[in-house]
Amino acid sequence: MLKRNRLALLTALLLLVPNVMYGETRMAFQDAMRRLWSDHVAYTRLFIVSAAAGSADKDATTQRLLQNQADIGNAVAAFYGQDAGNKLTALLKDHILIAANIVTAAKAGDNAKVASENKKWHDNAIDIAKFLHGANPKHWPEATLQSALFTHLDQTLNEATNELKGNYPASIKDYDQAMTHMLMVADTLSSGIEAQFPAKFSH
């Protein structure tokens, strides 16, 4: 009797596993990716505003922003493995920390530091594009990814610069543009994963 119960339980689990692993719809996956990457832009905005104003919530905002990079890495790990997820998380955290250095230097009026950190920022973007292209070369062209990431950097720098100068309407407009652009990036990434792993999606 006990053996029969165990066999029935095992059979039930085996029947459930395919739904857990392959049951997510493309639309649900796209929505999840959009949420992750829109959080990236939104919490970057909150950091910029906090840093520019010297608000007490800057450290908490920074930690939440860094957690978003881990969340993105974990989403990638579900398809490419934990090592790949950890690598992307590390690259994205560097992206955030370099951006924080740029904002700090700009606020202090240290233009030389801004220039040197901006160079590091673009080098980091190149590394991210190369990494993603290596994971999905057919659907994520390196040049396309690099161009998209460079646009993100330019938009974020404009946003931060205007915020620091007190050009708040311009900074908000920059944020809106950055969000629109990042949603496009999210769709590019999700469609690439869907094309590479079609069996992992129900429809």
- List, as one string, the DSSP characters of the chain: -HHHHHHHHHHHHHHHHHHHHH---HHHHHHHHHHHHHHHHHHHHHHHHHHHHT-TTHHHHHHHHHHHHHHHHHHHHHHH-HHHHHHHHHHHHHHHHHHHHHHHHHHHT-HHHHHHHHHHHHHHHHHHHHHHHHHSTTTS-HHHHHHHHHHHHHHHHHHHHHHHTT-HHHHHHHHHHHHHHHHHHHHHHHHHHHHH-GGGS--
Portion of the chain with pLDDT greater than 70, in percent: 89
Inform me whether the pLDDT recorded for 131 exceeds 90.
yes
pTM of the model: 0.87
Q: How far apart are CA 39 and CA 65, in angstroms?
A: 8
52 contacts 103 by C-beta, under 8 angstroms: yes
pLDDT at 24 (0 to 100) = 79
Per-residue CA distances from 134 to 73, 99, 129, 140 (Å): 15, 25, 8, 8
57: confidence class by pLDDT, cuts 50, 70, 90: very high
pLDDT at 202 (0 to 100) = 79
As a whole number, mean pLDDT of residues 144-160 equals 98
Q: How far apart are CA 201 and CA 114, in angstroms?
A: 44
15: confidence class by pLDDT, cuts 50, 70, 90: very low
Per-residue CA distances from 88 to 17, 98, 112, 202 (Å): 27, 15, 28, 26
147: confidence class by pLDDT, cuts 50, 70, 90: very high
